Structure 1
Amino acid sequence: MDSVEVFKGIRFPGFMHTQESLRTACGFQFQDTDVLLVTFPKSGTTWMQQVLSLILCKGHLWPIHNVPNWERAPWLEQNSFVKLLGNLDPSQPRLLTSHLGAEALGPALLHSKARVVYMARNPKDVLVSFYYFHKLAKFLPDPSSFEDFVAEFLEGTGFFGSWFEHVKGWLGLEPDLNMLFVTYEELHQAPRATLQKLSDFLGYPLGPEEEDFVLEHCSFPFMSQSSVVNYSLVPKEVMDPSQGRFLRKGVMGDWKEHFSPEQNEKFNTVYQAKMGNLGLHLPWTMD
């Protein structure tokens, strides 16, 4: 359960990744109709999987109620991928998910018209959510302290690598890919407008009633009660429910309840050094 795979200098949980599964992902042959969701962990992946599933399902709710999200949108790099890929509905575009960085996965996408949705989130909220996920997931080490976890996150030495490099790497590929950049915050603050942007990008425009339908079934109350979304189907030996819930809060700004002034100042310094010269207008505040 606690094994580790190191691939291209980045640590992955060995419980669900192997060198073979990681290499296979990097050489995957994308179809032009594929939809690939890419995120750094804890950036709203499950939420966006639900949104994209609902857009693509055209109102057919059976998969939404009966098929776990990790089967509806399987992870390219996980050792279960080949099996789950064969179970996808051939009548719909394949919805796939990945946490891999641009350096690893970009080459396989460069000659494809596959649609890529990249979702980012305020890194401070990512850090807090990831900290609690380490406590919940038995395949990740329990953090020694929040302070140490902050330091590891800023150094980019934790599992799945550096948030900063992940975001910058994928944004760097945006001009060369059929890609839409979306943030957790805009989906939270302007859900209908963001849904319209996503559905237009996918070529599945929705009417007002269809938008209402999607928004209802991707709401936090619905998802937190759905066993095929909230990971309650996962054995407790893999995710320990006594340590918290997978869908914990679904809010913005939770980091303010956790960061000390010193940690916040240090984070802002690193963030400015790594992201400040990109000229990005991102919908989150670092204060």
Structure 2
Amino acid sequence: MLQGQKRWLYIAVPIFFFWFFGQIDKVGISVIQTDPGFLSDLGLTGPDKNAKIGLISFIFMISYSCSNIFWGVIIDKLGARKTAVLGLLVWTATMVMGGLSTSYEMFLISRVILGIGEGMMIPISGKFISNWFHKRELGRAQSFWITGNYLGPAVGTVMLILIISTFHWQAAFFVLAAFNLFINIPMFLFLTRNTPEEHPRLSKEEVSYIRQKDEANDAEQKQFFAKDYRYWIVWFGNLMSSFLFFGISIWLPTYLVEAKGFEREAMTGITSLSWLFALGFVLAGGFLADKTKRPSLLATIFSY
């Protein structure tokens, strides 16, 4: 059934779950911070409560974005597979640390280290996809992590509320740590290899297909990416969209509960739907971009 297509199982599936659980970790704090027990246990009360809550997400995002740089160097030294396992171990340990936190300061430290641990997600995914898929398949391969990127928070929002309601806010962190320990890490250990040539269960025909040259694409990519103005347009567009999208998504649950008086169940449904709508537009945009061959025009339309 998977003859000649095993790369989708060995690489695309682990990358999907990598992002699925990773995005729950990132955005899940927006749900957890609406829990009165969490706020009380960490001393998030008083007039500076909102500032302290905002700092939790801010400091995580700063460490997450800055750590992307050095993870790229580590990937080149150790390879994508070992680096993924190393990052996941850091990530798992900090989730446990977050669940065991008894003070605001300890929790902040856990979020900084978590940001460092999760910072390898983009370079790891890029390395695996570039090594394992033919250039004509890059769009489909990228769609796996993009789908996990949006589906994770949509499902995770509901899941975290159920865990917190049934147990306690600490349990949410321990469950997320368990997902890494028992799903993500085994997947990278047993399914992936750094290159197709290293994988014992991949046929020579599949490796040969992956390594086929695409002369048209090779000719287009001779220019260094940083000298291409289109790269910087995409970079700036992603910067602005991330600022708006993640800013709103992290702020939305607290706004609905505290400013609008929503019950947590109603907040959960609205937050989850926002991520599902985002996923729908991403998939629709990718389909239309392939059909029309006008990704820049579609990006402009969807931005408005």
- If the length of structure 2 is used for normalisation, what is the TM-score? 0.27
Structure with higher strand content: 1
Query: Which fold has the larger relative contact order, with Cα–Cα distance below 8 Å and residues 6 or more apart in sequence?
Result: 2
- If the length of structure 1 is used for normalisation, what is the TM-score? 0.28
Structure with higher helix content: 2
